[in-house]
Amino acid sequence: MAASKIITVFGATGAQGGSVVQTFLADPVLKSGGWKVRAVTRDVSKPAAQALKGQGAEVVAADLNDKSSMVSAMTGSSAVYAVTNYWEKMDMQLEIKQGKSLVDAAKETGVGHFIWSSLMNVAKLSGGKLPNVYHFDSKALVEDYARESGIPATFFMPGFYMSNLPGKMFRSTPEGWVLGLPIPGSAQIPLFDTEDDTGKFVKAIVLKGKEVFGKQVFGAAEYKTGEQIVEDFKKKFPEAGKSAKYVNVPHDQYLGALKGMGMPEFAAQELLENMRLMDEFGYFGGAPLEESHAILDAKDKLTTWEEYMGKAAAFKELK
C-alpha cells in the first residue's frame, strides 16, 4: 500500500468540492495510491459535513476570511483543491482577497500541488467590451497571483453548469418547453456536469502532477449550441419536445427579468455579459476541449447532455 497523501478540498459540501471529495473517497486508483480526503467547510456540525465524515473524510473547519485557519487546514497536504464562491457576497474584491489568501497559505505550508478553480479574464479577452463579468475576472486575477507566487499549480476552468438548464433556463411554459437565452441559438456552450465530473478532472490533474503544472484544464464534456440542446431534448422526449424551442431573448428583456427576480442591476448586467461571452468571444476564448480530455483516465467518461437529461429531476416525468 502506498504511503498516504492528503488532498485538502475547500468548498467540500458544494458542487465542485463535493465532486472532488466523492471521487477521492471512492476511486480505487486513488485509494490504492494512498490518497485521503481532508474536507474543509465553515461549519463542521452541519449535516452535509457530518455525512462526509461518515464516508471516511477528515472534516475540518476553515474560514476563507481567516488565513490562519486556511494554513491550519492545508498543513501536511500533498494537494489542495481551492474554490471560492463569488455569488455568496457578490463582491469581486473580497473574492480576490480570499483567493490570494489561499495561494499564500499554500505557499506557506509547502503544498505539493495547488489546484485553483479559475476562469477566463473576460475584460482582457474581450478587449474591454465585456468589463463587468466580475466572477470570471476575479478568479483569473487570483490565477495570475498564483503563477507569480511560483507555487506548483494547475488551473481548472469549469464550464457552463448543466444544472442551470433543466427547470431553470430551460423550462416548461404554457406554450411548451423553452430555452431562452440572450444570445443567438448558434453560440457554443461548453456543457459540464459539475457534480459528477469535477472529480474526474481533479483526479487526472493530481495523477499527472508535474506534467500539468502551469496549465489550464478546461472542464466541459462538449460544446453544444442552444439550438442543439433543444434538438437533443426533442429526440430524448418526443412527446414533451413537440413544441420545444430556443428563443434568443432581447438584452433589455433579459435584464428586466433578472431585476424583476430581485437581482441587483450590476449582477444582472454581469450575467448578461457572461452570456454574451459565449457568443462573442467564446467561454474559454474559443479553446478546443480535446487536450483537456486527453489527461482523463479512459474509464472516467464525462457526462453528455443526453445522459444528463436522463437524470435531471425537472425532466423525470417526461416522455
Could you write out the three-class secondary structure of 143-175? HHHHHHHCCCEEEEEECEEHHHCECCCEEEECC
What's the mean pLDDT in 33-58? 95
Confidence tier at 59 by pLDDT (50, 70, 90): very high
| C-alpha gyration radius of the chain | 20
Element (H, E) at 55: none
Q: How confident is the model at residue 2 (pLDDT cuts 50, 70, 90)?
A: confident
Whether 52 is in a domain gets the answer yes
Contact in structure between 190 and 292 (CB atoms under 8 Å): no
Q: How far is CA 154 from CA 103, 189, 217, in A?
A: 12, 23, 8
Q: State the chain's mean pLDDT as an integer.
A: 97
All residues at 6 or more sequence positions from 106 whose CB lies less than 8 Å from its CB, including other chains: 74, 80, 82, 114, 151, 153
Domain presence at residue 30: yes
pLDDT at 261: 95
pTM here?
Answer: 0.97
Sign of the C-alpha dihedral computed for residues 274, 249, 186 and 312 taken in this order? positive
Left if phi > 0, otherwise alpha if psi is -120 to 50, otherwise beta: which for 76? left
Residue 132: inside a domain: yes
Q: Once rounded to an integer, what is the mean pLDDT over residues 30-50?
A: 95
Question: Is 310 inside any structural domain?
Answer: yes
| Structural domain total, the chain | 1
Average pLDDT over residues 137-157: 98
Check residue 1 and give its pLDDT: 57
pLDDT, tens only, 196-246: 999 999 999 999 999 999 999 999 999 999 999 999 999 999 999 999 999
319 is a domain residue: no
pLDDT above 70 covers what percent of the chain?
A: 100
Q: Which domain holds residue 145?
A: 5-314
> In this structure, what CATH number is given to the domain that contains residue 235?
3.40.50.720
How would residue 3 be classed by pLDDT, with cut points 50, 70 and 90?
A: confident
Q: How confident is the model at residue 82 (pLDDT cuts 50, 70, 90)?
A: very high
Backbone angles phi, psi at 17, to 5 degrees: -60, -40
- CA-nearest of 191, 266, 273 to 224 is 191
Is position 88 within any domain?
Answer: yes
Beta-bridged to residue 248, according to DSSP, are: 181
- Strands 58-61 and 35-41 turn out to be parallel
Burial of 199 (0-12, 13-18, 19+ CB in 10 A): buried
User: Is residue 160 domain-resident?
Assistant: yes
